[in-house]
Each structure stands twice: as structure tokens, then as C-alpha cells.
Amino acid sequence: MPQLILQPGKERSLFRRHPWIFAGSVARLDGRARPGDTVDVVAANGRPLARAAWSPQSQIRARVWTFDPEETVDDAFFKRRVAAAVARREAIPGLAGQDGLRLIHGESDGLPGVIADRYGDTVVVQLTAAGSDKWRKAIVGGLHKATGCARIYERSDSEVRKLEGLAPVTGWLFGEASGTPLSIVEHGVRMNVDVVGGHKTGFYLDQRDNRLLTRELAAGRSTLNCFCYTGGFSLQALAGGAASVLSIDSSGPALASAAGNLALNPQLDAARAEWREADVFTELRALRADGRRFDLVILDPPKFAPSAAHAERAARAYKDINVLGFRLLNPGGLLMTYSCSGGIGLELFQDIVAGAAVDAARDARILRRLAAAPDHPVALHFGEGEYLKGLLVQAD
């Protein structure tokens, strides 16, 4: 087996079970390894530490499969890891019965570069690193065995593959598309899921619990849902008895899907919903100029900062929309505000929102800190896994 020899001192993060080995930590590679091959990770003093996937093109030069330097990384290893991830969800009461569920959440499930989401009897897998790409057969086989699903679609077209030197791969790996659109029921609301063309693997499963919170808060409230995508928060607000729901997104196709989702749910009062195709930054200013105010404002923007390098510009964008959000709130109104940027930590995000309240001249308090649903767990040794953070804030 080829050996990845670390620079002196660079073994420390591995003792803490952090799975990434950056280019600057690598002293040399002894032996030959192709992208995705398994290498032995060895400290500068010769001590064996782990087995990892070699990724020569990426700044994350290797991702650890196992911290047991003796453990064999083979098909059976991936079957075990996949089965364990699926079993973990089955053990959590709120998750077990979900139609739409993340089954594998990358590093936090001990499977760096592997995402798997289940929508009913369809599983969508996304492989984002050289190592996971290499083991696709074992991973997919493990998913089929652990779930008994009817079909598996590969959605390995995430931008991050480029950093690993991998081309996009998409298509049915097992079974094929059924004639009817794929849909799931979330908190009693039916939603179509476009696994082929939708964002991520088709749906923002990470916001499941926060959409339920929206439903609980919405009764009687005039609601503004910014960056609504296919209407997840909008429909839950309607289900919770919102007085009205104005939803904004810049994507026409997303809004068409949202309206289609509303039509799937005749129990909801469609007359209370309005969809608007617009840029949120512009539209919120226009709403303010028109004197519009809302009791509940939801801000769930796309990732403004994919990495820490973009944090400063992203911070300004977050601040901007949050100032506008506060200005559009009625007295006593609720702001539900999110960042899914890995490059913006929880503390920084809270600072940004606090700064926005000051600029909007509003006193406000945090009622709840919000995060991704528990099928998107954060391994204790992998803080990077905590990408989604949110605040529920009440303004005076």
C-alpha cells in the first residue's frame, strides 16, 4: 500500500479524528497511487495513523476512511459504513418514518464525499471526492442492500467535484424513472422532487424541522418567504394558517414548481398565496417603499460564501437582506433567518444579524437557534459539517 508521510506535527488533527489532510500537511507519498486509491497515513516518526483516499488534485489531499490503520478498506467496509448510517436514522423516532430523508451525510457518517438522500423508494447518491467516486459500486450496492429501494439515481454534478479533478456523472444506476413525478409528503404537505434537475439531490431536506417550526408559528400571520425555491416554507406557512404568504424567488422554473406543489395540496388555501419572480435584494426595497409590512419574514438565501475566502463579501450580502427583513417586520414580528455558507460561522452570523437589527433601528431577541435536521448530523470532530445555521428572532 502506498504511504502518505505527514509533516512533523501534522498528526495532531488526526488524533482528534479530523478526517481531512491538507496539501500543506503532506511531506511525501511513498509508492504510486492514482486518484481515489487508498493510502496508509503515517506520522513523520513512522507511526501508522489511518487509511485514507488519495486525491492529488485537491487541496484536501486525502480524506480518512478509517482511523484504525489495520482496517481493510474494501467492498465490505463500505457496506458496513452505509448500513450503519442508515441504521442510525432508523433509531431516531422523528426520522424513521420520513418520506424524504438524508441517509448518508458525508464525513459526519464516516463516509467523506458521499451524500445519499431517500425520496420514497428512490435513493439519490452524490459522490463528491476522488475516493468516494472510486468506490461507487460498493457504496451503491450497500445503499441498495440497506434500503431495499426500487431505484437509485446518481447526481454527481456538484461543483466541488471540479476541485477533485472529477467530471460530472449523472444517471440511473439501478431501476429507472417511474412514469409519474416523484413526490414526498413532508409534515402532511405533498412536494414534488425533481432528482434530475432540482437543486442538490432535488430538495432541501436539511430545512425539514425548520419548515415545521414555520408551520407552528404561521397562524394568522402575514408571511414573506424570500428565496422560496419550490415553496417548502411557503406551503408549511399556509398549512399553519398564515393570513397570507408572499413568496419571492429569482427563478421562474422554481416558482412554477412551487405553484405546482401548491396545486398538489387542495387542503391549502391557494387564495392566500402569491408568487413573485424577482431579485430579493431589489424586491424587498420595493416592498418597503410601498409601505408593506409582515408578521413573519423568512430569509433562506443560497450559499453566499462557499468558503471562508468569500466570507467578507458574503457577510455584506447577509447583512443587507437582514436589514431589509427587519425593516419589513411589523412590531412584534418574527424573523427566521438562515445562512448555509460553510464560510460563515454561527458566531459571525449572529453578529451580522445583530448588526442588521441596529441598522434597521430595531430591538430584537433570539427565541431559538436553528440548525439542520438530525439526518444531517455534525460529527463532533468535524465542525465543518455545521454549514446551516439560523436564528428565530422577535423584533420589538
Q: Please tell me what DSSP assigns to residue 164.
A: G
Residue (248 or 324) nearer to ligand SAH, CB: 248
Residue (136 or 389) nearer to ligand SAH, CB: 389
In angstroms, the CA 241 to CA 221 distance is: 8
Rule CB under 6 A: is residue 254 a binding residue for ligand SAH? yes
Cβ 229 to ligand SAH shortest distance, Å: 4
106 CB neighbour count, 10 Å cutoff = 25
In angstroms, the CA 395 to CA 331 distance is: 6
One residue of 233, 275, 318, 326 binding ligand SAH per CB under 6 A: 233
88 CB neighbour count, 10 Å cutoff = 17
Positions 292 through 321 that interact with ligand SAH (CB under 6 A): 300, 302
Question: Percent helix, strand and coil across the chain, each rounded to 5?
Answer: 35, 30, 35
Cβ 249 to ligand SAH shortest distance, Å: 4
One residue of 170, 183, 251, 350 binding ligand SAH per CB under 6 A: 251
Catalytic annotation, pick one of 149, 226, 228, 340: 340
Cβ 383 to ligand SAH shortest distance, Å: 23
Rule CB under 6 A: is residue 117 a binding residue for ligand SAH? no
One residue of 20, 54, 65, 227 binding ligand SAH per CB under 6 A: 227
Q: Which stretch binds ligand SAH (CB under 6 A): 44-52, 244-252, 345-353, 361-369?
A: 244-252
Binding residues for ligand SAH, rule CB under 6 A, total 17
Q: Which stretch binds ligand SAH (CB under 6 A): 54-62, 78-86, 99-107, 230-238?
A: 230-238
Choose among 232, 281, 226: nearest CA to 258.
Answer: 232
Residue (37 or 300) nearer to ligand SAH, CB: 300
Rule CB under 6 A: is residue 247 a binding residue for ligand SAH? no
Cβ 255 to ligand SAH shortest distance, Å: 9
Residue with cell 397562524: 219
H-type helices in 16-151, by residue range? Answer: 75-90, 93-96, 130-134, 136-147
Question: Residue 33: left (phi > 0), alpha (psi -120 to 50), or beta?
Answer: beta
One residue of 20, 54, 78, 204 binding ligand SAH per CB under 6 A: 204
Dump strand ranges (E) for 151-309: 151-156, 169-174, 183-186, 189-192, 222-226, 244-249, 273-277, 294-299
AA letter at 287: L
One residue of 54, 67, 135, 229 binding ligand SAH per CB under 6 A: 229
Cβ 85 to ligand SAH shortest distance, Å: 23
149 has catalytic annotation: no
Residue (40 or 209) nearer to ligand SAH, CB: 209
Rule CB under 6 A: is residue 119 a binding residue for ligand SAH? no
Residue (25 or 257) nearer to ligand SAH, CB: 257
Choose among 360, 209, 215, 231: nearest CA to 284.
Answer: 360
Task: Count Cβ atoms within 10 A of the Cβ of residue 32 and give its class: 0-12 exposed, 13-18 middle, 19 or more buried.
Answer: exposed
One residue of 133, 249, 295, 375 binding ligand SAH per CB under 6 A: 249
Q: Which stretch binds ligand SAH (CB under 6 A): 9-17, 76-84, 109-117, 279-287?
A: 279-287
Q: Which residues of 122-137 are buried (b: 16+ CB within 10 A; e: fewer)?
A: bbbbbbbbbbbbbbbe
End-to-end C-alpha distance for the chain, whole angstroms: 63
In angstroms, the CA 142 to CA 139 distance is: 5
Distances (CA, A) of 396 to 299, 336, 364: 19, 15, 6
One residue of 158, 183, 250, 350 binding ligand SAH per CB under 6 A: 250
Per CB under 6 A, residues contacting ligand SAH are 204, 207, 227, 229-230, 232-233, 248-251, 254, 279-281, 300, 302
Catalytic residues: 340
